[in-house]
Amino acid sequence: MAMPTVSHDGANLHWDSKGEGSPVLLIMGHVYSSALWYPLLPALTRNHRAIWFDNRGSGRSDTTSPTTIEQYAADALAVMKAAGVDKAHVYGVSMGGGIAAEFAMAYPEHTLSATLGCTLIKTEKTTYGGARALVYRLPLFVAKWLMKRGSSPEKYGSSVPREAALHDIEVVANDRFTMRGVRAQSKAIANYSTTEKRAVERLTMPVLILHGDRDEAVPVEQGRRTHAMLPGSEYVEFADAGHNYLVAQNEASTAAFIDFIERVDAQGAK
């Protein structure tokens, strides 16, 4: 069955939803499509409505360039409205965590809570370049081969079941993206900063921060720093888990997230 599509700001965005109950908007990270939310969805959709979508440049959504983190957050709002939802729990991982934070800062009236996974609050712009920029100039099949070659169960952390890591490596290898799209995403990350807007002060809704202590992509110190920046936030750190704690610590991370949003819902119902 084809995913629904919403047209927003020059791109057709593919999205989908499943389940009933309190809505949760899921925002995936750099490069990957919303298919990578598969570890969370079975438990989440038992009692909640999950809404997920492909960021522009990944999955089945269109590619545009240049783009910005603010535009990705606006895309997320367009998807949420297309799903008929006015307010949701927003959960993003990696780049998606940065988009989720931007969403919550820009659209607090549409945010029940914000969960920021394996990410950071980016307070200064950075330079686009380095080895990754070179890889992103390669033909797609070469870049995917190099990415798979650099993957191993060990990068998920010692807590991951080996078969779960191998399965995820295959899912990632078969995921869809465009080289132009990931270049645009990478440049958007480099050009983004929250400092100019003092936007973090607007994160007054319930916030949960999740991080693996063996994260090589976004070091765990960044998660701890984000928690310190947001005194009212909750923080859960997963032992022996790398960047993809959704796989490395699937049961623990799923339980932590669902417990958090259900407590927020219960508080709101009082």
How far apart are the C-alpha atoms of 2 and 200, rounded to whole Å? 37
% of the chain with per-residue pLDDT over 70 = 97
Question: For the whole model, what pTM was predicted?
Answer: 0.95
What residues form DSSP beta bridges with 5?
14
Q: Per the structure, how many domains does the chain have? A: 1
Model confidence pLDDT, tens digit, residues 1-41: 567 999 999 999 999 999 999 999 999 999 999 999 999 99
What residues form DSSP beta bridges with 90?
25, 114
Cα-based angle 4, 118, 74 (whole degrees, multiple of 5): 40
Give residue 194's domain range. 5-269
DSSP secondary structure letters along 159-190: TS-HHHHHHHHHHHHT--B-HHHHHHHHHHHH
C-alpha to C-alpha distances, 261 to 81, 110, 210, nearest whole angstrom: 20, 15, 13
Mean pLDDT, rounded, for 153-158: 94
> What rounded mean pLDDT belongs to the chain?
94
% of the chain with per-residue pLDDT over 90 = 82
> How many residues in total does the chain contain?
270
Predicted pLDDT at 138: 87
154, pLDDT greater than 90: yes
Model confidence pLDDT, tens digit, residues 202-251: 899 999 999 999 999 999 999 999 999 998 999 999 999 999 999 999 99
- We report the CATH number of the domain holding residue 49 as 3.40.50.1820
What residues form DSSP beta bridges with 208?
115, 234
Mean pLDDT, rounded, for 127-136: 81
Q: How confident is the model at residue 129 (pLDDT cuts 50, 70, 90)?
A: confident
